[in-house]
Amino acid sequence: MKLFPNNRHEDAARALYERIVAQSRNPVFYRDYGVPDSVDGRFEMLLLHSFLVFHRLKGEGEAAKQLGQTLFDLLVFHLDQSVRVSGVGDLGAGRKMKAIGQAFYGRSKAYETGLEAPAAVELREALLRNVYGSCRDSGSAQPSAAILEALDSYLRTNVAALATQPLTDLMAGRLHFEDAEPLADAQAVQSEAQHG
């Protein structure tokens, strides 16, 4: 079913969105990288991977801008549906969606700034604050420096890889993410972070 009649970018945007969702649900993030396997953790990974695609489309002309807007509209639609399915009423859903919009823009700005910063610390602080914020709130273990470094590396690797992916591929809904490296000693590293 078409959500946006007469929008020629909807099929491509839907394919990109499905790829983003699939990548954000990769078990390696929750098993090895210490991302909370919760609504909040999955939401953060969805925003992180969405950011990567919007970052790639930025400054690529009007058609790419329209594709990005359609992708954003799809993202908002599906998040709104998730909020409503969880039992939030119309008034509550509006407030929740406003908070989600602010979260997306805030994280996008933080990740952009972190990528442009001369030192890695700014991006890692943004990842710690956002991706792992619910760890702090729930009292769960914070990620180790090694895990933050690995997620930082994953993000930068995908920025570089997407920069080389032809724009025509994205305009056709084709998107390739580089895989996150499994961390064999993730549990030991997490344990060190807890007790160190």
One-character DSSP codes across 3-55:
SSTT-TTHHHHHHHHHHHHHHHT-HHHHHTS---SSHHHHHHHHHHHHHHHHH
Task: State the pTM of this model.
Answer: 0.86
If you search the block for the tokens 């007790």, which residue do you land on?
A: 195
| Whole-number pLDDT of residue 80 | 77
| Whole-number pLDDT of residue 139 | 64
Task: Say what the alpha-carbon torsion angle 72, 20, 35, 79 is, to the nearest 10 degrees.
Answer: 40
| Whole-number pLDDT of residue 85 | 66
Weakly modelled stretches of the chain, pLDDT under 70? 83-94, 96-97, 134-140, 185-196
| Whole-number pLDDT of residue 77 | 87
pLDDT tens across 90-102, in order?
A: 656 667 667 778 8
CA 140 – CA 127 distance, rounded (Å): 16
Return the ∠ at Cα 25 (arms to 21 and 26), rounded to 5°.
Answer: 125
Say if CB 149 and CB 190 are below 8 A apart: no
| Whole-number pLDDT of residue 12 | 97
| Whole-number pLDDT of residue 84 | 59
Closest among 132, 174, 162 to 150, alpha carbons compared: 132
| Whole-number pLDDT of residue 90 | 61
| Whole-number pLDDT of residue 140 | 67
